[in-house]
Copies of this chain bind each other. A is one copy, B any other.
Amino acid sequence: MEQKPTTIKEIAKQLNISFSTVSRALHDHPNIGLRTKLRVQQLAKELHYEPNQTAIFFQQRKTFTIGVIIPELAEAFFSTSINGIEDTAEKNKYTVLLGQSHDSEEREKKILETMKQHRVDGVIISISKNTVNYEHFESLKKYGIPVVFFDRIPKMSDIHYVSSNMISGTLQAVSFLIKKGHRVIGMINGPEKLLASQERKEGYQQSMTKSRLKFDPSLVVNSDLSLTGTQLAMEELLSSKRKPTAIVTFNDYVALDAIQYAQKRKRKINKDICFVSFANLPISSYSAYPPLASVEQYPYIQGQKATEILLELMNKNKDETGQKEVYYKIIVESQLVLHEKK
């Protein structure tokens, strides 16, 4: 019973005109008679004509598809940013091909490979925290597939990216704690390789200097963001000589793990020790002891911006090629959000 989709040829045959005429009629091409145009559009509707996109993709060397690769969908930050990506893409008639690296470089490569084969028009990517090799990104360039990075950005020059301002975000967070009277402030940072970690450290250092406090590098420890990684980091901080009374954590997940660990170690949350973190996830509003405040990074906007840049890059290609490229480096401001006590 499966009906074959109507084609332009079919319409042409029934109307006894050439299929190029049909094509033009359907596209409101100027060189077309009003009469025939209407006849064609009429019949097209009757036969439920729908253009064969695969043919068009092929013909136009374009797929109106963008590939999106992120580490982990389950993390609220990423699923929210995908909302921004998807909405923007949809508005511009693009669809989203999704891939998760699960923080494996190998998977990341493989997904990128598949996407290249699927001839995506562009790629948005937040790299795996374990990715050390950047060749697979370079290779996309050769094929003229534009790439926009966001949030987790590789240390490469000549790339487009959008990220949130971690330096100023950290500044806000640390200043907030200092204003509350804390003098010894620890930091559980993420993997050192990540740009985001470096910026947090930078921001931490800046605000300490600003307030004429000593910057003690031993108070900045790294976690690989896993539960045990965070616990190790906490252990290190809690057993440090200069007992920190407040800790800034890499994100809310780390914060929650850290808080649980602090409780296990008999620290009274918000008395013995306070927490401030990043991401401002809804999860923390349900938590028993949420961090005092969290730096909102506006993932939706980041996704949106990244997509807008990509759209521009994908369309530019046609017109002005060969000009020296300008690289977009968009910084989305972050904002410390206080968690109200209930």
Interface residue? A8 (CB, 8 A): no
* Min C-beta distance of A124 to chain B, whole Å: 13
User: Please, how many angstroms separate the alpha-carbon atoms of A57 and B56 in the complex?
Assistant: 11
Q: A54-B58, A58-B54 are in contact. Are A115 and B100 (CB under 8 A)?
A: no
Interface residue? A3 (CB, 8 A): yes
Among residues of B, the one whose C-beta sits closest to the C-beta of A63 is B54
Complex interface: chain B residues within 8 A of A116 (CB): 50
User: Please, how many angstroms separate the alpha-carbon atoms of A162 and B283 in the complex?
Assistant: 29
User: Please, how many angstroms separate the alpha-carbon atoms of A115 and B65 in the complex?
Assistant: 11
* Min C-beta distance of A330 to chain B, whole Å: 23
Among residues of B, the one whose C-beta sits closest to the C-beta of A55 is B58
Cβ proximity bits A52-80 to B, threshold 8 Å, 1 near / 0 not = 11110110010111000000011010011
Q: A79-B74, A99-B86 are in contact. Are A117 and B260 (CB under 8 A)?
A: no
* Min C-beta distance of A230 to chain B, whole Å: 13
Among residues of B, the one whose C-beta sits closest to the C-beta of A93 is B114
Complex interface: chain B residues within 8 A of A114 (CB): 90, 93, 95
Q: Of the candidates B2, B63, B118, which one forms a contact with A321 in the assembled complex, judged by CB atoms under 8 Å apart?
A: B2
Complex interface: chain B residues within 8 A of A38 (CB): none
Complex interface: chain B residues within 8 A of A64 (CB): 118
Cβ proximity bits A102-138 to B, threshold 8 Å, 1 near / 0 not = 0000000011001111110000000000000000000
- 13 additional A-B residue pairs with CB within 8 Å, beyond A65-B118, A82-B98, A256-B286: A5-B143, A50-B116, A53-B119, A54-B63, A64-B118, A73-B79, A74-B76, A74-B83, A86-B99, A96-B97, A97-B97, A98-B98, A288-B288
